[in-house]
Amino acid sequence: MMATKRTRTAAHRPAVRQRRFRHDTLTALDLFSGFGGLTQGIERAGFDVIMAANHNSYKVEVHEANHPTTEHWIADLANQDSADYHDVRDLPAADLVAAGVSCVNHSPANTMKAYEEGLTLFDMDDPDYDDRVTRSERDRATANCVLHYAQKHHPRMILIECTTQLQSWGNLVPGKRKVGDGSTYRWWLKQFDIEGYDHKVVFLNSMFFEVGQSRDRAYWIFWDKKLEAPDLEHRPIAWCSFCSTVVESQQRWKTGIPPTGTVCYGKQYEYSCPSCRFPVVPQFTPSLAALDLSNLGTRIGDRDKPLAPSTMARIERARQRLGEFPAVLMPAKATRGSERHPWQPMSTQTSQQETAILSTGAVVAIDNFQGAPRGAGDPLPTQGGSETMALLSSAVLPFRKNTRPTMHAEAMPTVTAEQIPGLLFASWYKQNGSTGTETAPHPLTDPFGALTSRDTTALVFAEWQQTLAERRVEDLKFRMMGPHEIGRGCGFDPDFGDHHGTYKVWGSARDQVDGYGNAVTPAVGEWIGTRLRAVLHREDTAA
């Protein structure tokens, strides 16, 4: 029995604010807007996103809540047989068209069948894949919609984001698995050349844009040949140990682009000092900046339902690899994947909620004569007549050069190869005052009190004392990363706990993680958008 095809109709949702004149601002469209990461970026860069489109009504509603002045289409822009099809050529003209095209079919893992059958991604027919997503969504993953829009409206600039494997788009290379010959990709680029565009492909990793996630992506930027070429050289700040100074690093290739099209930071390219050419590691944001440490998880030995043997095996693998740390991020659902400690950026997030936090549960430890170090959530020991305890305030302390310590109320600093930070907890307090009122503890940010001839002022320091390797597995704490943490790691600012963010999101954890994981990193969109706007602004002012 065949399943009944669900019917839908493309829906137009007008913007709250109507525009009077097109030339009031530099305008932009976001063709596959999703959660609006790319929209956020180019808006921060100074573009007015007048319209966004997506086939998923939930994502459009989230986008609409965060961008109420943008018109929206809930529609399929690619499959003409779809009930909710809307021709991309009927969308309004704009200065910039942006599109974070779906990357599912451009990654090696999902193109093998198409390549083996000698098909392009447009022609692929995979029933197993259709069980997970519709044919319409698969077709939408192609980049042809942007080409169709350009052929009709010829925007002055185009920005496309996708996985780097788009470069291998084409028929299977004989004798190779998962490797296309790039023929369709080269044809696609040629069409933009015919339409009067120059282009540049930029390879960027989100962790160098103050985002706690290592996410390698490629960005295709097209501009009208009549325009000046935008400055798209990425020069992140880095510390050069050879020159002993901070430099604007330069991207340098280590290898060529492989047949798979896969390009990753550290493998295919790196950054170097512009003076001595010595390799450097730019500042990056650790995953700790995205984590909510008010919840360290549940003790594994106290769980109502024991963890699966495969998960326990991954925990033991993480202990063996990163046992000197008090906490790690680890893949909880995949047999493969890399464990990371909190001072590294988290791995690329996808639509799956698969990253777990494994920790000792000891955040603050205080050494005192009354017993063992205690965590922040443990009760204090019985207090005697002398003051032996103090409140602690925490700081992030750089182990090496070129980073100032930051207090617990400040954002985590970015990290370079020579600036591995540690957590330090400290306070000062008065010992044994004559009335008992002089003994209040103070954080290190407070000035010292009056110092007398008596030695009355003391410092208390405490560190993360226990490591994963020092505790039994049953005593460790384990939990999945929450949607708000994944959102923060992807560059969004959602609400969580007492924090009131700037980004509105709701829905199930699965829907939120899917929206965040498939979103373009806003900060990268802003960086590119700023450089594109600079060219258009110069052209407009000159005219």
Contact 246, 239 (CB under 8 A): yes
As given in the structure block, the two tokens for residue 342 are 């909190």
Pairing assessment for the beta strands 157-162 and 96-100 based on DSSP bridges: parallel
What's the first-to-final CA gap in the chain, in angstroms? 64
Query: Which residues are CB-neighbours of 194 under 8 A, at least 6 positions away?
Result: none
Three-class DSSP category at 532: helix
**What pLDDT sits at residue 338?**
81
Residue showing tokens 């997506």: 54
Question: How far is Cα 288 from Cα 424, in angstroms, rounded to an integer?
Answer: 14
Three-class DSSP category at 205: strand
As given in the structure block, the two tokens for residue 299 are 């003790």
Identify residue 519 by its one-letter amino acid code.
A
Going edge to edge, which strands form the sheet with 327-331? 298-299, 477-480, 355-359, 327-331
| Stated pTM of the model | 0.76
As given in the structure block, the two tokens for residue 28 are 């932009």
Contact 75, 55 (CB under 8 A): yes
The Cα angle at residue 398 between residues 395 and 401, in degrees rounded to 5 = 150
Angle between helices 37-44 and 522-542 (to 10 degrees): 40
Question: How far is Cα 270 from Cα 256, in angstroms, rounded to an integer?
Answer: 12
As given in the structure block, the two tokens for residue 232 are 């798209």
As given in the structure block, the two tokens for residue 396 are 């992030």
Contact 180, 124 (CB under 8 A): no
Contact 323, 467 (CB under 8 A): yes
Contact 77, 86 (CB under 8 A): yes
Identify residue 284 by its one-letter amino acid code.
F
Our measurement of the distance from residue 463's CA atom to the centroid of its chain's CA atoms, rounded to an integer in Å, reads: 29
Beta pairing partners, 396: 406, 423
**What pLDDT sits at residue 123?**
47
Question: How far is Cα 513 from Cα 509, in angstroms, rounded to an integer?
Answer: 6
Query: Which residues are CB-neighbours of 130 under 8 A, at least 6 positions away?
Result: 138
Identify residue 530 by its one-letter amino acid code.
T
Three-class DSSP category at 162: strand
Q: Which of 345, 366, 338, 342 lies closest to 292 in space, CA to CA? A: 342
Contact 364, 392 (CB under 8 A): yes
**What pLDDT sits at residue 428?**
44
Our CA dihedral for 140, 146, 148, 154, rounded to 10 degrees, sits at 160
Query: Which residues are CB-neighbours of 448 under 8 A, at least 6 positions away?
Result: 428, 457
Q: Which of 190, 183, 257, 266 lies closest to 222 in space, CA to CA? A: 190
As given in the structure block, the two tokens for residue 33 are 């807007």
Our CA dihedral for 234, 235, 237, 240, rounded to 10 degrees, sits at 130
Task: Per-residue pLDDT tens, the chain, 543 aa: give them.
Answer: 444 455 677 777 777 666 555 556 899 999 999 999 999 999 999 999 999 999 899 999 999 999 999 999 998 887 777 788 888 899 999 999 999 886 554 444 344 444 344 444 444 455 554 444 444 334 334 688 899 999 999 999 999 999 898 898 877 777 766 677 888 889 899 999 999 999 999 999 999 999 999 999 999 999 999 999 999 999 999 999 999 999 999 999 999 999 889 999 999 999 999 999 999 999 999 988 888 888 889 999 999 999 989 899 999 999 999 988 889 998 887 656 688 888 888 888 777 778 888 898 764 433 333 344 444 444 444 444 433 333 333 334 443 444 444 444 444 444 444 444 444 444 444 444 444 444 455 444 445 444 444 444 454 444 445 788 888 999 999 999 999 999 999 999 999 888 899 999 999 999 999 999 889 999 999 999 999 999 998 776 665
